[in-house]
Amino acid sequence: MAPITDDIFENTEVAFAHKTDAELQKAKWLFSLIGNNKLVAVGTSLAGLALKLHLPISPIFRLTVYDHFCGGETFAECKRTIAKLKKNGVYAMLNYGVELKEEEEDFDKTIEKNIEAIEFAGKNKDVKVLCIKITGFGRFGLFEKIQAGGKLTGEEEAELERVVARFDKVCKAAVKNDVAVYVDAEESWIQDPLDAMTEEMMAKYNTKKAIVYNTFQHYRHDRLKYLKQQLAAAQKGGYTLGAKLVRGAYMEKERSRAAEMGYPSPIHADKAGVDKDYDAAVNLCLDHIDAVSVCVASHSEESNLKAIKSIDRKGVKRDHPHILFSQLYGMGDNITFNLAAAGFNACKYLPYGPVKDVIPYLIRRAQENTSVAGQTGRELDLIQREIKRRR
């Protein structure tokens, strides 16, 4: 393998080899729109209103952001996307992208869909992972009450038991099909009970290999400490820690709520603090790679570069089964595809599901893109450079 150079993520020929000229032009148009913060703010507000009024907006989303950021509505459509990725050495990480459900029948349906995805992945080894949200298994308000220390009623106790049973059912299916399950992190004021359930499942199902992974959001100033605690617990308990490392996705909401309710913000004061903790977390996992199975899920070129240089420096195999890199489908292609070309395990976070049900995810994705300084501009610049190179 060739040594890693600082400009590894500048290779647009490798980054966009999977895209046709027409697809590149569409991506250029899309990121030009997303780069307009005012347009995104107005568009997402109108989309949210249209959803509430049950207006037929799915065709508009299908022709624009859905096809760029999602794998497909069905497994048949996903298969085509997955095959296209694998042709370029990149794996898929499936996510049933349906959000904001609150009824028991919806939770049961989500479990069915997740198990279908696990069984699909079990037959398609180009799918490495299924990502889940525990708020897809139970009510947000229930988790909020638990973390606040409220006394549960008998009915709520039974409700919590159903949540745990649903989670356990998914984990059992994952073990049976040899598919990893990544549990997404959520808002800090419900995260404690979600962590507790995930810790329990890891201790139960990660005795032979990492099946269940927790997600550590390092924009929170307490997560590096929590990661160290979980590593120690796994080593003591004789199971592998599954750790997906992210910076985070709820920063503005977290700060606003803390200010409104008068408690200290759980978020780092500045980006430098987030970056420092994130890179320290990656190194911690690499230093204990026999005890940890880690997913470096970051769009920071600097953090990814530090990680891959550290892997080579420590003498760890680039394709070590305990190391996976991940970026969102439709973004960070210069990272994902160049990592794969250099011999690292790389994958794309691939949401799927009916367009109308995935729209809330797409709205959130558009809003998050505007909050990450320079991200959309960087994506657009790389696309334009590749278009120019092909002429």
Domain count for the chain: 1
The pLDDT, as a whole number, for residue 2 is: 87
pLDDT at residue 54 in the model = 63
Name the residue among 334, 275, 358, 355 with its Cα closest to residue 101.
358
Answer whether 51's CB lies under 8 Å from 360's CB: yes
Name residue 95's beta-bridge partners: 131, 351
Contacts of 390 (CB under 8 A, 6+ apart): 21, 24
Residue 2 lies in a domain: no
pTM, entire model:
0.92
- Domain for residue 1, yes or no? no
Going 177 to 178 to 179 to 180, the CA torsion angle's sign is positive
Question: Is 84 inside any structural domain?
Answer: yes
CA angle in degrees (0–180, nearest 5) for 169-173-174: 115
Rounded Cα gap, residues 296 and 298, in angstroms? 6
Residue 3, in any domain of the structure: no
Q: Which contiguous run of DSSP H or E holds residue 109? A: helix 104-123
Within a domain: 94: yes
pLDDT at 32: 84
Whether residue 210 is contained in a domain is answered as yes
- The confidence score (pLDDT) of residue 33 equals 78
In a domain, 248, yes or no: yes
Q: Give the pLDDT of residue 252.
A: 79
**Low-confidence spans in the chain with pLDDT less than 70:** 35-57, 59, 98-101, 361, 363-374
CATH number of the domain enclosing 249: 3.20.20.220
**Which residue range(s) make up the domain with 271?**
8-390
Asked if 254 and 189 count as a contact pair (C-beta separation under 8 A), the reply is: no
For residues 172-209, one letter each, b for 16 or more C-beta atoms within 10 angstroms of the residue's C-beta and e for the rest, the string is bbbbebebbbbbbbbbbbbbebbbebbbebbeebbeee
Q: Is residue 145 part of a domain?
A: yes
